[in-house]
């Protein structure tokens, strides 16, 4: 199976590296060509356009930031869909709006291509070690055909239903994670302002009922104000939450705690923490 990867950021480069180590990576593409260079020197084709990278691939995986970036790599004369062979499989690992992934599915179908929305969850460490998990929307038969590629880079491929289901669950997952992190940020700021022993507080949180993986994972960063080694940047979490709020509005579901987390992230973004780890939302309280 030949697999092309479009987008070589923190997560995409990890996915591409795992595929290359397993002999599956046929081509890569990145908007800034320098990120493709490490793969090119190892003999992997580095496409100058998404279309060039996608040509001849059985599966094309995109790992980009948002709906606009996804449109840019898939659509148009230089987009990946224009270069893919009939019945090749287009796969979106990105966290996108369900509305857009359904539009993308229609565009792929119009070219006799198959499509899966399969947003991933995990950190850069998980991506680099093939340990991400995928929330998949699409036809079961297409998922089975794509499993050699998807299974090579992930531990689980959870099939949630038709196209759009994976994207919807990923937004729900991320909005809940953002609320956990926001509660931690406010709790730490509250405890500090109240004059509590923060060393004691830091030892109590991991053994409390609030100790979710998000809370325990971001606790050391928030205590140390250390956000430089980014696992998942604040700007992308803020984007995911904004998509979740839009979808909640469309469905008539009030998301008040999510709105509060969004305001906290907006405050941190205004302070210039967009490219830092999402734990930097703590600065939205301190600021």
Q: Going residue by residue through the chain, which has 287 residues, state the pLDDT in tens, using 9 for 90 and above.
A: 999 999 999 999 999 999 999 999 999 999 999 999 999 999 999 999 999 999 999 999 999 999 999 999 999 999 999 999 999 999 999 999 999 999 999 999 999 999 999 999 998 899 999 999 999 999 999 999 999 999 999 999 999 999 999 999 999 999 999 999 999 999 999 999 999 999 999 999 999 999 999 999 999 999 999 999 888 999 999 999 999 999 999 999 999 999 999 999 999 999 999 999 999 999 999 76
Q: What is residue 243's predicted lDDT score, i.e. its pLDDT?
A: 98
Question: Distances in Å between the alpha carbon of 74 and those of 34, 53, 71, 121, 268?
Answer: 21, 11, 5, 22, 32
Give me the domains of the chain, ranges plus CATH numbers: 3-162 (3.40.50.720), 168-286 (1.10.1040.10)
Among 245, 224, 221, smallest CA distance to 233 is for 221
Among 8, 6, 65, smallest CA distance to 240 is for 65
Residue 224 CB contacts under 8 Å (≥ 6 apart), including other chains: none
The two tokens of residue 126 are: 């998980």
Residue 15 to residue 242: CA distance in whole angstroms: 26
Strands 59-62 and 89-92, sheet pairing: parallel
Q: What is residue 282's predicted lDDT score, i.e. its pLDDT?
A: 97
Strands 132-137 and 154-161, sheet pairing: parallel
φ and ψ at 172, to 5 degrees? Answer: -65, -45
Residue 199 to residue 196: CA distance in whole angstroms: 9
Query: Other C-beta atoms within 10 Å of 244: how many?
Result: 26
Residue 285 to residue 244: CA distance in whole angstroms: 22
Q: What is residue 287's predicted lDDT score, i.e. its pLDDT?
A: 62
Q: CA 157, 161, 166: angle at the middle one, nearest 5? A: 60
Residue 145 to residue 89: CA distance in whole angstroms: 9
Residue 13 CB contacts under 8 Å (≥ 6 apart), including other chains: 35, 127, 128
Question: Distances in Å between the alpha carbon of 20 and those of 50, 204, 266?
Answer: 18, 43, 38
């Amino acid at each position: 199976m030949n697999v092309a990867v479009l987008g070589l950021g923190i997560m995409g480069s990890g996915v591409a590296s795992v595929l290359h180590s397993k002999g599956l990576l046929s081509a890569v593409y990145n908007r800034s060509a320098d990120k493709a260079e490490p793969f090119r020197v190892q003999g992997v084709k580095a496409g100058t356009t998404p279309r060039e990278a996608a040509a001849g691939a059985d599966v094309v995986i995109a790992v980009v930031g948002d709906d606009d970036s996804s449109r840019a790599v898939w659509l148009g004369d230089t987009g990946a869909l224009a270069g893919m062979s009939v019945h090749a499989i287009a796969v979106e690992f990105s966290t996108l709006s369900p509305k857009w992934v359904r539009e993308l599915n229609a565009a792929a179908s119009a070219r006799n291509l198959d499509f899966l929305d399969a947003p991933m969850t995990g950190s850069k460490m998980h991506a680099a070690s093939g340990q991400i998990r995928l929330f998949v929307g699409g036809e079961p038969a297409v998922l089975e055909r794509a499993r050699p590629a998807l299974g090579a880079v992930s531990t689980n491929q959870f099939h949630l239903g038709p196209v759009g289901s994976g994207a919807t669950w990923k937004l729900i997952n991320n909005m809940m994670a953002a609320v956990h992190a926001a509660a931690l940020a406010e709790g730490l700021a509250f405890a500090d302002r109240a004059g509590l022993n923060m060393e004691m507080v830091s030892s109590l949180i991991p053994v409390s009922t609030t100790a979710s993986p998000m809370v325990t994972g971001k606790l050391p960063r928030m205590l140390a104000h250390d956000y430089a080694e980014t696992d998942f940047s604040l700007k992308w979490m803020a984007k995911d939450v904004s998509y979740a709020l839009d979808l909640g509005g469309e469905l008539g579901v009030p998301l008040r705690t999510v709105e509060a987390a969004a305001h906290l992230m907006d405050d941190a973004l205004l302070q210039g923490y967009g490219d830092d780890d999402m734990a930097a939302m703590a600065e939205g309280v301190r600021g």
